[in-house]
Amino acid sequence: MEQVKKQRILSGIQPSGTPTLGNYIGAMRNWKLLEDEYDCLYMIADLHAITVRQEPAKLRQQSMQLLALLLAIGLDPQKNVLFFQSHVPQHSQMAWLLNCYTYMGEMSRMTQFKDKSAKHADNINCGLFTYPILMAGDILLYQANLVPVGKDQTQHLEICRDIATRVNGLYSNVFTIPEGYYPKVGARVMSLQDPTRKMSKSDPDDCFISILDTPDTIRRKYRRAVTDSDGEIRFDPENKPGVSNLLSILCALTGQTIDELTASFAGKGYGELKAAVTDATIETLAPIQERFNQYMGDKAYLETVYRDGAARASHLAERTLQKLMKKIGYVQK
């Protein structure tokens, strides 16, 4: 019986800081759930990271930590391709080619460029402007069918699709047109101090839970989490964003529905809700942290994983790159 070809998924995460609980719930946890059903590539997006100035030693350390975290959440390096973006030079080559098929007007409409320019007004570099093109190259190099994205990345996926469609229209049958893969539960975890904004590792420390936070730190952050003054525990993101955020986190970590949770907290106070979210978070992160420490203590194994991942990723990427270069008219090597 002929084996059905699996659809391919590519996802990436920047090593610009320790991933948050929001990263875990919205993306990383779901990656483990995909590895048997899909052909998965998971990229540590270290090229993207330098649109903001990085300390060299810290960037190296955070990159290795992120690889160890991917393994710690259970990703099997035999079933998945785990690699550093910078170890696959085809990403940079593809980005240049796609730059020449993308218009300035398209890039100027990217809302994240405007947001990041406001945050980093002293470093509005060209990479910050064009990194959606690098992202498009990341995806298209591997002929990815699906890309797990949060709502804040939807615009970048759309420009990727536009570029791929444009190139296919000129040269025919070069790229697979990717679709977004949107998790149904817990895809958007909000800041603990400003629950109208997404939880981000670039925010002040008390705004987010890091995957590597200690139990004491997690307790402190949840105790200080913003709620409101009316005291009722109900899910109402518009009028009670802080309480609703805590309920969403608890829902994602326990598997209970929002209705089940609100019923269980009937007549109880915010302190009990915060305690429950704290306990669930600590229980979820403890085994991940234990495995993380084991992997960080075995640098030789980590090197084996990323070297093998780079070789496998390069093999796939080179096929697409050469296909496009031949279509454009380059002399084949």
The CATH number covering residue 269 comes to 1.10.240.10
Task: Domain count for the chain, please give it.
Answer: 2
Given a cut of 60, is residue 9 above it in pLDDT? Answer: yes
Tell me the residue range of the domain where 229 lies. 205-293
Residue 193 in domain: no
Given a cut of 70, is residue 61 above it in pLDDT? Answer: yes
Residues 49 and 174 in one domain: yes
Question: What tens digit of pLDDT does each residue of 113-134 get?
Answer: 777 766 767 778 888 889 899 9
Residues 167 and 284 in one domain: no
The verdict on whether 323 is a catalytic residue reads no
Given a cut of 70, is residue 34 above it in pLDDT? Answer: yes
State mean pLDDT over 179-194: 78
Question: What tens digit of pLDDT does each residue of 252-296 get?
Answer: 999 999 999 999 999 999 999 999 999 999 999 999 999 999 999
Residues 153 and 279 in one domain: no
Residue from 58, 119, 198, 274 carrying the catalytic annotation:
198
Residues 156 and 31 in one domain: yes
The verdict on whether 327 is a catalytic residue reads no
Residue from 32, 201, 268, 327 carrying the catalytic annotation:
201
Residues 285 and 310 in one domain: no
Residue 188 in domain: no
Which pLDDT score is estimated for 1? 45
HEC string of the chain equals CCCCCCCEEEEEECCCCCCEHHHHHHHHHHHHHHCCCCEEEEEECHHHHCCCCCCHHHHHHHHHHHHHHHHHCCCCCCCEEEEEHHHCCHHHHHHHHHHCCCCHHHHHCCHHHHHHHHHCCCCCCHHHHHHHHHHHHHHHHCCCCEEECCHHHHHHHHHHHHHHHHHHHHHCCCCCCCEEECCCCCCCCECCCCCCCECCCCCCHHHCCECCCCHHHHHHHHHCCCCCCCCCCCCCCCCCHHHHHHHHHHHHHHCCCHHHHHHHCCCCCHHHHHHHHHHHHHHHHHHHHHHHHHHHCCHHHHHHHHHHHHHHHHHHHHHHHHHHHHHHCCCCC
Least confident span in 30-34, 160-164, 208-212: 30-34
Mean of all residue pLDDT scores within the chain: 91
The CATH number covering residue 42 comes to 3.40.50.620
Residue 220 in domain: yes
**Model confidence, pTM:** 0.89
Confidence of residue 202 (pLDDT cuts 50, 70, 90): confident
Residue 15 in domain: yes
The verdict on whether 201 is a catalytic residue reads yes
Residues 29 and 176 in one domain: yes
Residue 216 in domain: yes
Residues 104 and 31 in one domain: yes
Confidence of residue 181 (pLDDT cuts 50, 70, 90): confident
Residues 159 and 308 in one domain: yes
State mean pLDDT over 299-315: 98
Least confident span in 95-109, 178-192, 235-249: 178-192
